[in-house]
Amino acid sequence: MVSEESFDEWYNEIVEKAGLCDKRYPIKGMNVWLPYGWNLMQNIDAIIREEMNKTGHDEVCFPLLIPESFFKREEEHIKGFSQEVFWVTHAGKNELEEKMLLRPTSETAMYPMFSLWIRSHADLPLKIFQIVNTFRYETKMTKAFIRVREIHFFEAHTAHESYEDAEKQVREDIEIAKRFFKKLALPVIFSRRPDWDKFAGAEYSIGIDVLMPSLRSLQVGSVHQYRQNFSKAFDIKYEGLDGKHYYCHQTTYGMSERVLGAIIGIHGDEKGVVIPSSIAPIKVVIIPIIFKGHEEEVMQECKKVEKELNAMGINSMVDERDKTPGNKFYDWELKGIPLRIEIGPRDIQKNVVIMVARDGVRKEIEREELKKIEEELKEFDARLYKKAEEFLMKNMHRTEKLERKEGVIELPWCGKEECGNEMEERLDMKSLGIPLEKEEVNATCPICGSKAITWLRLAKSY
Ligand code: ZN
């Protein structure tokens, strides 16, 4: 892991050096996805698509533009986003009769359609998702994959008969998120956001955060319970079994390329990025160790190993470039390929290959037991997770005193907004919210001294 002090500088450099994005595009906060970065993002999307399919969500694709009248229907929502919206006002030289906006998120595009689609209880639950670009005019300093103005966005939207059904959906989303982030070797923290920081229009929001090596938290996902706030604004009603009409209960679940930002930040080291095998486009790179007189033999063996690994479903590639092995190691370490295999004349004679994982674990593997590589990849991902989890645990502090610590701190809290705000101010940290699981707290609020009802998590955040 990269050290706290050098992290931000390292991060800003590595995203370009490793071929993930090009920041020279002349619009701030809008970078060009390079092939490697885009490939990784597509593989992350593939995991979320698989999860969505498993849980009965259908993929849709809504228009990018939203008419102003749609956007204005939910008051809290407009307040929350009004400063960040990009407007389209002209078509050629002509001013549009009605202004349109680039979606900052898609509630106000989707829900007028929901009101047409949903007629009876038989249409429920409605569970859809899309992976599209959204646009938000960020005023803070932009950062590749972390704070951008054109966002690669995943959003799931659901509608249900009852509040309890919507609550079940929230619980399902949390389970999806747990599986998803585990696959990416990212330990995450779920917190119910305080009311003053919930999503615009939500009844409550659950934030999913990671802790970056800079000891600042990064929100990588969120789940929102809307209750009937949007269905009332957009007239989304269904006919119940009793023939009466009811407003739907709704939820959403959102994530973005920040997930990739978290992978780069948390797993990376001084040599470059480190990619879990679950999303690595190339899982194994094979490096021929050429000695004079053995060129043909070594190259043939490398090709054979490549073919066998690919046949096992392990994407592999021989690096045939005219460079020294050392230079090749450097390049692939920079890109974070999980495993490399080295094959030289002596290995062929011994009937082995040398495997070196990106985290330094080195093993000799019998040639006949090449299928062990599959297990090695899993172990590699497990080691990444464990290391990241240890880092998170080490930097989460439960304390009763109001004192600043690096990382995430949990303080006893009475639940009053003014006390929460004062903690934020005095610690110069932002509250992430409270743990999802209820627990007894035998401590007092450090601000007002009354009995605490929960723990409030605070951190410096991106
Ligand atoms: Zn208090």
Amino acid identity, position 448: C
Bridge partners, 221 (sequence order): 208, 255
What the block records as the tokens of 205 is 């929001």
Model pLDDT, residue 80: 85
Give the distance (Å) from ligand 1 centre to CA of residue 420. Answer: 7
Among candidates 165, 180, 184, which has minimal Cα distance to 49? 180
Query: Residue 361: pLDDT band by 50, 70, 90 thresholds?
Result: very high
What the block records as the tokens of 186 is 């990212």
Taking every pair of Cα atoms in the chain, the longest distance, rounded to a whole number of angstroms, is 85
Question: Do 85 and 203 belong together in one domain?
Answer: yes
Question: Do 221 and 314 belong together in one domain?
Answer: no
Say if residue 144's pLDDT is above 90: yes
Number of domains in the chain: 3
CATH number of the domain within which 329 lies: 3.40.50.800
Task: Name the domain boundary from 235, 267, 299.
Answer: 267
Place of tokens 């709704």: 250
Q: What is the mean pLDDT of residues 247-254?
A: 98
- Distance between CA atoms of residues 398 and 372, nearest Å: 42
Q: What is the mean pLDDT of residues 20-49?
A: 97
- Distance between CA atoms of residues 436 and 443, nearest Å: 19
Model pLDDT, residue 239: 98
Over the range 194-217, which residues count as b (16 or more CB within 10 Å of their CB) and which as e?
beeebbbbbbbbbbbbbbbbbbbb
- Distance between CA atoms of residues 166 and 174, nearest Å: 13
Question: Do 184 and 296 belong together in one domain?
Answer: no
Question: Do 224 and 343 belong together in one domain?
Answer: no
Give the distance (Å) from ligand 1 centre to CA of residue 436. Answer: 20
Strands (E), 309-424: 316-318, 339-343, 352-357, 362-366, 396-398, 408-413
Model pLDDT, residue 81: 87
Query: Residue 78: pLDDT band by 50, 70, 90 thresholds?
Result: confident
Domain assignment present for 299: yes
- Quick count: other Cβ atoms within 10 Å of Cβ 38? 15
Domain assignment present for 393: no
Give the distance (Å) from ligand 1 centre to CA of residue 77. Answer: 29
Q: What is the mean pLDDT of residues 315-321?
A: 98
Domain assignment present for 274: no
Question: Do 186 and 233 belong together in one domain?
Answer: yes
Question: Do 289 and 261 belong together in one domain?
Answer: no
Say if residue 172's pLDDT is above 90: yes
Question: Do 59 and 161 belong together in one domain?
Answer: yes
Give the domain extent around 427: 398-459
Question: Do 150 and 211 belong together in one domain?
Answer: yes
Give the distance (Å) from ligand 1 centre to CA of residue 200. Answer: 25
Bridge partners, 434 (sequence order): 192
Render pLDDT for 394-436 as a digit per residue (tens, 0 to 9): 999 999 999 989 999 999 999 999 999 999 999 999 999 999 9
Sheet hosting strand 339-343, strand order edge to edge: 316-318, 284-288, 339-343, 352-357, 362-366
Give the distance (Å) from ligand 1 centre to CA of residue 413. Answer: 6
Question: Do 239 and 316 belong together in one domain?
Answer: no
Give the distance (Å) from ligand 1 centre to CA of residue 454. Answer: 11
Domain assignment present for 65: yes
CATH number of the domain within which 449 lies: 3.30.110.30
Residue 400, exposed/middle/buried by CB under 10 A (0-12, 13-18, 19+)? middle
Query: Residue 452: pLDDT band by 50, 70, 90 thresholds?
Result: very high
Question: Do 429 and 360 belong together in one domain?
Answer: no
Model pLDDT, residue 139: 83
Question: Do 164 and 232 belong together in one domain?
Answer: yes
DSSP letter (8 states) at residue 194 = P
Q: 67 CB contacts (<8 Å, ≥6 apart)? A: 98, 99, 100
- Quick count: other Cβ atoms within 10 Å of Cβ 371? 12
Give the distance (Å) from ligand 1 centre to CA of residue 36. Answer: 49
Q: Give the relative orientation of helices 35-54 and 163-183 as an angle to the nearest 10 degrees.
A: 140
Model pLDDT, residue 75: 80
Give the distance (Å) from ligand 1 centre to CA of residue 120. Answer: 46
Give the distance (Å) from ligand 1 centre to CA of residue 457. Answer: 14
Give the distance (Å) from ligand 1 centre to CA of residue 416. Answer: 6
Going from the C-alpha of 1 to that of each of 60, 95, 345, the distances in angstroms are 38, 52, 35
CATH number of the domain within which 89 lies: 3.30.930.10
Question: Do 208 and 113 belong together in one domain?
Answer: yes
* Angle formed at CA 343 by CA 19 and CA 352, multiple of 5 degrees: 130
Render pLDDT for 21-31 as a digit per residue (tens, 0 to 9): 999 999 999 99
Over the chain, what is the mean pLDDT?
96
